[in-house]
Chains A and B, each alone.
Chain A
């Protein structure tokens, strides 16, 4: 009788457990459906972490809050040695909160790095930020486009942009790392296994995706931060919640940001996608990739078609204006004119009374007037473009015009540099020496004479 009761109780307990488990699954579904975060249990998490997040339950938010407060206090006191550890814990306590990952990575790369006066230490913190997102954040949130965008942002803006006086150092460090793996600008056709392994494990870059990206939009120089930003944005717009492999629609959260970042990176690749890098002589010069223009324009068209937003049309107009100036300075006047006509056709509010030549001269004048605010890649493009034309003219025997182009290039560079009086400003946005740019221009001219067929079709 007693045994019977025991058996009955055990059965009842098992039934209860089974029922609870069933309900639990339904609850997950319900939470996922109504987007009550965090819905899904952690995937790929080590057992300790999975256990902690489950065991702490609702308290983990509280603990994360306390740790966060501690980070703020330590940061104010300049005691930063503990911050990487605390950020690690916070993100692991709240592995599904994108903002937590994004904030901690951004904090390291932007706020903590600048606490150090030297570039080496700053670079370490930028890298800590990148690693937090790339190695950890994406591992637990592989379908969150926002995180991809945040990671791309660190490459595009922190390393690529001129905000930080140490950004030239960051650019060189990234280029060094990539050169060591790729032995050049891009993935070879038959790379070494060790290199592939380093790409996958250390840099978290998938060679197959790299090739796919190169084929679709490129090819790119993988030593440039903009290429990395493009890679992650491109992955992000495909890695959306739902069915794997199905790209997100414009209304998927984060996808729009990824699209926008792709446009920015592609524009940058056109503007400064050609890199001459030699760590031995500290050479690092970026110049335009004129051959990328068709792909960039095509992508703009696609995005505009997808979103049908005024915003994208406007940034496209800006890009086209910039492209016209750059093409013009390299002497590709017919191509530039054709684009100008396109702009007039597409944008009805553009003043039609302004001729192509007026547009060019007005822009040149404005750039010289506001040289202090002119972005370095545009300045490089104009100076190198003029030097490139000088080369071609010299080769054609037109010495007088060549000298005039050369003079204009020098004058433009002088104006640009004069607008940068402070040490810091020069450090961040200074142009390479004229001789260095001339060598770039000569090489470019040489290449164009050699390659009758454009680079893109030669690929």
Chain B
């Protein structure tokens, strides 16, 4: 069984390389990624430029490879049926499952190589763009600490008392609010530590900054570290903290130093911290390289799904129809995360009430079904992590493979194999 699968995957690979599809795709990816730095227009900072490059280069790679994976998978079976190579293949002692899996494996090998190449290119360009000659040492350090890293958020040990459904903690002018964090043991001695915080204010002017004092005390140092700043509400801020030893307890206190003075425009603001995202500790979880690798694995999980999708529709339809169907499915998948059922609700004044409720029930059902049928791609979107230096846990990669590749991919495989084993070939006689 395995030998036959390997034979078929080897054939798929060979065909892809010989037919220059592979070379063309590589050229396209290389041109797109290498040309990107000349096209993008960032905010002008090293950090912004780096983030934008990671975001666009990675996004572009993902898009190109996803399209290529779906497209070539859609053709892998359907084009061989049209070209009649499949007529000969199915007269050999091979099961439909062996053909399907062999094709999938071959295409995934291509995907893997392509992704590896593109990933290497992005990584190399990233290094090249942030090399010593381009960026100052200080810029490089802050890049390493803020973006080219993998950090995760640690919730406070002693959070805001959230009894009785309290989700917000108000700090009036002159008031304070404290959190206690324990620095995890896994934090290295030289790792940069950040406090990430976000708040709302009682002001009507949504974005008017407020002045606040942060006091950070470690349990063995008597003098707390102080920093005064003006912070804009509704935006995540990251405050670099002095180095702390692993296992240490940090007491973080916010003091609202807004003062009330008669006649001043803008009354002093009360600051509101959310119980869950108000203040969190940002620690370095791993290096950028390993995070980057995990991001690539997330992409590969997607490609595994796209390949399965393409193969299955290719087993069912002719090539053009298969391509159209696969992309339509992906389009719906993309939209299903975006359009809520509410957005499509019929309004009562447009139709009689009974008709509207009937339409709404149908819409709701369709949306629910779509949600069920389409895979949760957004949940495993590497772009939500990589450009901001957020840590991609291995469990997420595992879940992505479990859900996208094994779950959805497996279901598609079963469907595709079943369809293919029943498919008749050579319906038109010459």
Residues of chain A at the chain B interface (Cβ within 8 Å) = 76, 78-85, 88, 111, 114-117, 121, 124-125, 128, 165, 370-373, 419-425
Contacts and interface: CB of A to CB of B under 8 A. Distances in A.
Interface stretch (B42-50, B216-224, B320-328): B42-50
Interface stretch (B70-78, B151-159, B231-239): B231-239
Contacts of A125: 43
Contacts of A128: 43-44
A98 B105 CA distance: 53
B202 to A, nearest CB: 15
23 contacts: A80-B48, A82-B51, A82-B52, A83-B43, A84-B43, A85-B41, A116-B232, A117-B229, A117-B230, A117-B232, A117-B237, A165-B230, A371-B263, A372-B261, A372-B265, A419-B261, A420-B261, A420-B264, A421-B259, A422-B258, A424-B209, A424-B211, A425-B261
A165 B211 CA distance: 11
Nearest to B268: A422
A124 B45 contact: yes
B342 to A, nearest CB: 16
A115 B232 contact: yes
Nearest to A164: B209
Interface residues of B, number: 36
B253 to A, nearest CB: 19
Nearest to A86: B41
Contacts of B266: 424-425
B209 A114 contact: yes
Contact of B52 (A81, A114, A115, A373): A81
Contacts of B257: 423
B43 A372 contact: no
A424 B212 CA distance: 11
B361 to A, nearest CB: 28
A424 B43 contact: no
Given A373-B263, A420-B264, A421-B264, A84 B42 contact: yes
Interface in B226-284: 229-232, 234-237, 257-266, 268
Contact of B42 (A81, A121, A423): A81
Contacts of B43: 80-81, 83-84, 124-125, 128
A88 B388 contact: no
Interface in B181-233: 207, 209, 211, 229-232
B48 A81 contact: yes
B64 to A, nearest CB: 18
Nearest to B237: A117
B40 interface: yes
A114 B261 contact: no
Given A81-B52, A117-B209, A425-B264, A124 B47 contact: no
Nearest to A429: B265
B263 A372 contact: yes
B265 A78 contact: no
- For the complex of A and B, the 3 pairs showing the least CB-CB separation, nearest first, are A421-B261, A372-B263, A81-B51
B4 interface: no
B387 interface: yes
Interface of B: 40-45, 47-48, 51-52, 55-56, 207, 209, 211, 229-232, 234-237, 257-266, 268, 387-388
A84 B42 CA distance: 6
Given A121-B45, A422-B268, A78 B236 contact: yes
A419 B264 contact: yes
A422 B262 CA distance: 10
A421 B266 CA distance: 12
A370 B262 CA distance: 10
- Main secondary structure on chain A at its contact with chain B? helix
B410 to A, nearest CB: 33
A371 B261 CA distance: 12
A81, A82, A83, A419: most-surrounded residue (chain B CB, <10 A) = A81
B231 A117 contact: yes
Nearest to A75: B235
A305 B230 CA distance: 47
Contacts of A425: 261, 264-266
Nearest to B267: A422
Nearest to A425: B264
Given A85-B56, A421-B260, A424-B211, 8 more contacts: A79-B387, A81-B51, A84-B44, A88-B41, A115-B232, A373-B263, A421-B264, A424-B266
B230 A79 contact: no
A84 B41 contact: yes
A424 B203 CA distance: 15
A371 to B, nearest CB: 7
A323 to B, nearest CB: 25
A372 B262 contact: yes
B346 to A, nearest CB: 23
Given A117-B230, A422-B258, A422-B261, A111 B207 contact: yes
Contacts of B265: 372-373, 425
B41, B207, B258: most-surrounded residue (chain A CB, <10 A) = B41
B230 A115 contact: no
Contacts of A421: 259-261, 264
A128 B211 CA distance: 26
B42 to A, nearest CB: 6
A95 to B, nearest CB: 15
A315 B30 CA distance: 61
Contact of B44 (A124, A372, A420, A423): A124
B388 A79 contact: yes
B264 A422 contact: yes
A458 B45 CA distance: 47
Contacts of B235: 78, 115
Contacts of B207: 111, 114-115
A165 B55 CA distance: 32
Contacts of A423: 211, 257, 259
A82 B55 contact: yes
A84 B39 CA distance: 12
B11 to A, nearest CB: 40
Contacts of A165: 209, 230
Contacts of B231: 117
A79 B385 CA distance: 12
B33 to A, nearest CB: 16
Nearest to A121: B45
B47, B211, B263: most-surrounded residue (chain A CB, <10 A) = B263
A82 B235 CA distance: 16
A124 B47 CA distance: 13
A421 B232 CA distance: 20
A76 B235 CA distance: 8
Contacts of B388: 79
Contacts of B40: 85
